[in-house]
Amino acid sequence: MASWGPRFLLRSSGLFPRTQGSRNAAQRLLSVQRRPFSDTKILVEFDENKGVAVMKMKSPPVNSLSLDFLTEFVINLEKLENDKGCRGVILTSGTPHIFSAGLDIMEMVGKSEAHYTEFWKAVQEMWLTLYNSSMVTLAAINGSSPAGGCLMAMSCDYRIMADNPKYGIGLNETQLGIVAPFWFKDTIVNTVGHRAAERSLQLGLLYPPAEALKVGMVDELVPEEKVQSRAAEVMSQWLAIPGHARQLTKSSMRKPTLDRLVAHRDSDIQNFVRFISRDSIQRSLQSYMESLKQRRG
């Protein structure tokens, strides 16, 4: 079993078409994000015999997707992608009861336009890298997974969720007074279909596991203590399929969705910065953060 931190050499795998120019995702991110990591937010355990890595998000209290987190995530995923011995990744959480609370709201409140730009590029990069991965990607959802957390899970090939009615999963953006970008929408449509996605998005629904299964947002539920072992089992089933055929199939299914963001990256960033900078949106996000605190009492 090998494990590593976030620093290593990067090179493009060439397995999947890269999404932009000759520089890979991590290099592009590092060119805008050079701050040192204060600590490791994602633990990677790579079982070389099985060719499977477990990426365990460990950024308490809620694994929120901050700029540092996203940068580390992309770098780690790129490293696995570039390692020909790694054929599958299980994405899970090492933070009790939370898969991921989604985007770090504090990155979107009271910051400069330059910061919002840098942050949104990192969010895009996370999704492009994960959705475009040639590896088998499996989400072992062992906690709540709202908004960006749900996006991450939906970007994997298969989702196993802990059958705990306290957990919720969904794109709840409208409940924060914000609007899920088109590629969040594309991802949920690709997962649950148009009608369920529309209802889900308009109402900002967070589904308990049983409803998430019914609507197709997750593929199976298992008792909480079985999430990791079941993920390992499912991974070996997927890895039994001839890799090249599976990768080409995945690529052909996902390419149009990926291409849409790649073609509109800059305007998507501009839209985000314009939208998030509005006073009304800033107030909505601030009062949402307040409501989280009050709910706790």
**Which 227-266 residues touch ligand CO8, going by CB under 6 A?**
none
By the rule CB under 6 A, 196 interacts with ligand CO8: no
Specify the long-range contacts of residues 239-247, CB closer than 8 Å, at least 24 apart.
239/51, 239/52, 239/87, 239/88, 239/136, 243/87, 246/136, 247/15, 247/16, 247/134
Q: Is 103 a catalytic residue?
A: yes
Looking at the Cβ atoms of 239 and 273, the one nearer to ligand CO8 is 273
Q: Is 233 a catalytic residue?
A: no
User: What 3 state SS string does 38-88 have?
Assistant: CCCCEEEEEECCCCEEEEEECCCCCCCECHHHHHHHHHHHHHHHHCCCCCE
With beta carbons less than 8 A apart as the criterion, state whether 229 and 248 touch. no
Question: In the bound complex, what is the minimum distance in angstroms from residue 123's beta carbon to ligand CO8?
Answer: 8
Question: In the bound complex, what is the minimum distance in angstroms from residue 62's beta carbon to ligand CO8?
Answer: 4
Catalytic residue among 88, 102, 143, 148: 148
CA–CA dist 98, 144 (Å, integer): 5
Number of residues that bind ligand CO8 (CB under 6 A): 28
Among 81, 125, 173, 186, binds ligand CO8 (CB under 6 A): 173
Instruction: Return the range that interacts with ligand CO8 (CB under 6 A); candidates 57-65, 131-139, 153-161, 249-257.
Output: 57-65
Instruction: Determine the angle formed by the axes of helices 243-263 and 265-277, rounding to 10 degrees.
Output: 60
Distance of CA 230 to the CA centre of its chain: 20
Q: Is 243 a catalytic residue?
A: no
Task: Identify which of 67, 51, 69, 50 has the alpha carbon closest to the alpha carbon of residue 59.
Answer: 69
Among 105, 212, 217, 218, binds ligand CO8 (CB under 6 A): 105
With beta carbons less than 8 A apart as the criterion, state whether 171 and 196 touch. no
Among 19, 71, 172, 247, binds ligand CO8 (CB under 6 A): 172
- Show the DSSP H helices in the chain as ranges: 25-32, 67-82, 113-131, 148-154, 182-192, 194-203, 209-215, 227-239, 243-263, 265-277, 279-296
By the rule CB under 6 A, 103 interacts with ligand CO8: yes
Among 57, 156, 178, 261, binds ligand CO8 (CB under 6 A): 178
Q: Is 172 a catalytic residue?
A: yes
Q: Residue of minimal CB distance from ligand CO8?
A: 102
Judging by beta carbons within 10 Å of its beta carbon (0-12, 13-18, 19+), is residue 57 exposed, middle or buried? buried
Each residue 120-159 as x (binds ligand CO8 by CB under 6 A) or -, in order, gives: ------------------------x-xxx-----------
Instruction: Return the range that interacts with ligand CO8 (CB under 6 A); candidates 1-9, 21-29, 82-90, 99-107.
Output: 99-107
Q: Which stretches of the chain bind ligand CO8, using CB under 6 A?
A: 61-62, 64, 98, 101-106, 144, 146-148, 172-173, 176, 178-181, 272, 275-276, 289, 292-293, 296
Q: Give the residue numbers annotated as catalytic, written as ranges.
A: 103, 148, 172-173
